[in-house]
A and B are shown apart, each in its own frame.
Chain A
Amino acid sequence: SQKIEQNSEALNIQEGKTATLTCNYTNYSPAYLQWYRQDPGRGPVFLLLIRENEKEKRKERLKVTFDTTLKQSLFHITASQPADSATYLCAPMNRDDKIIFGKGTRLHILP
């Protein structure tokens, strides 16, 4: 069955450093991969989408890579800030409607 693994349940990063979150997937050949942010008690918020033929995508302090050979995506936040503390969800997508979310990684940026 399709499986998504996101690195460690929680990640603590010092403010100003780069946070790197990992998403690995198996039994899957996604055409796209999305990253969402979720704050406690709130709905997920779309951050970035990367297609299978793109290696890297950037948006402000965010960078996503997509390696279809390794079946992995990396999500980077540079110059991290306490406001970046949240759970980040990886969501590989086929060419259909549904999003299958990973469990997420809780990121804590320490001041």
Chain B
Amino acid sequence: EPEVTQTPSHQVTQMGQEVILRCVPISNHLYFYWYRQILGQKVEFLVSFYNNEISEKSEIFDDQFSVERPDGSNFTLKIRSTKLEDSAMYFCASSERASGPREQYFGPGTRLTVT
């Protein structure tokens, strides 16, 4: 069964460094998403991406964040200058439908630890 994959599974970085989290969505899916979950808290929407552009973003997704689909299969989340509070699990998701309600398929997550 096709699934969303994410790399790395765990990333440790120093405050102020740039990180890139990578995702390979399910191949025929059209919509891509990033979410984060701080330990013990709820899953929070960051951004959605369709047709090579951001379709929606949350207040969390400020200028320090960017997303890209560099090569037609990968979908990346970049954090330019990490802060301690960026430590969280980051989940990538994708969905298939072009319209109507879309169930989203989540990857296993990348645990980001900022020290």
User: Is residue A97 within 8 Å, beta carbon to beta carbon, of the partner chain?
Assistant: yes
Q: A residues near B, CB below 8 A?
A: 31-32, 34, 38, 41-46, 49, 51, 89, 93, 96-104
Stretch at the interface among B41-49, B70-78, B79-87: B41-49
- Alpha-carbon distance A104/B43, docked complex (angstroms): 9
- Which of B35, B42, B56, B108 has the most A CB atoms < 10 Å from its CB? B42
Q: How far is the CB of B110 from chain A (nearest CB, A)?
A: 10
Contact of A102 among B42, B55, B58 (CB under 8 A): B42
Contact A100 B101 (CB under 8 A): no
Contact A99 B104 (CB under 8 A): yes
11 CB contacts below 8 A, A to B, read A31-B101, A41-B109, A42-B108, A42-B109, A43-B108, A46-B103, A46-B105, A49-B103, A99-B45, A101-B45, A103-B42
- Alpha-carbon distance A93/B101, docked complex (angstroms): 8
Q: B residues near A, CB below 8 A?
A: 4, 31, 33, 35, 41-45, 48, 50, 55-56, 58, 89, 91, 93, 101, 103-109
By DSSP majority rule, is chain A's interface helix, strand, loop, or mixed? loop
B31's nearest neighbour on chain A, judged by CB, is A97
With a cutoff of 8 Å between Cβ atoms, the chain A residues found around residue B109 in the complex are 41-43
With a cutoff of 8 Å between Cβ atoms, the chain B residues found around residue A43 in the complex are 4, 91, 93, 106-109
- Alpha-carbon distance A93/B41, docked complex (angstroms): 20
Contact A34 B106 (CB under 8 A): no
Q: How far is the CB of B109 from chain A (nearest CB, A)?
A: 5
Q: How far is the CB of B32 from chain A (nearest CB, A)?
A: 10
With a cutoff of 8 Å between Cβ atoms, the chain A residues found around residue B44 in the complex are 101
Contact B101 A98 (CB under 8 A): no
Assuming A43-B109, A51-B101, A98-B45, what are 8 further A-B pairs, CB within 8 angstroms?
Answer: A34-B101, A38-B43, A43-B93, A46-B105, A97-B50, A98-B33, A98-B48, A101-B43
Contact of A44 among B48, B55, B56, B91 (CB under 8 A): B91
A48's nearest neighbour on chain B, judged by CB, is B103
A33's nearest neighbour on chain B, judged by CB, is B101
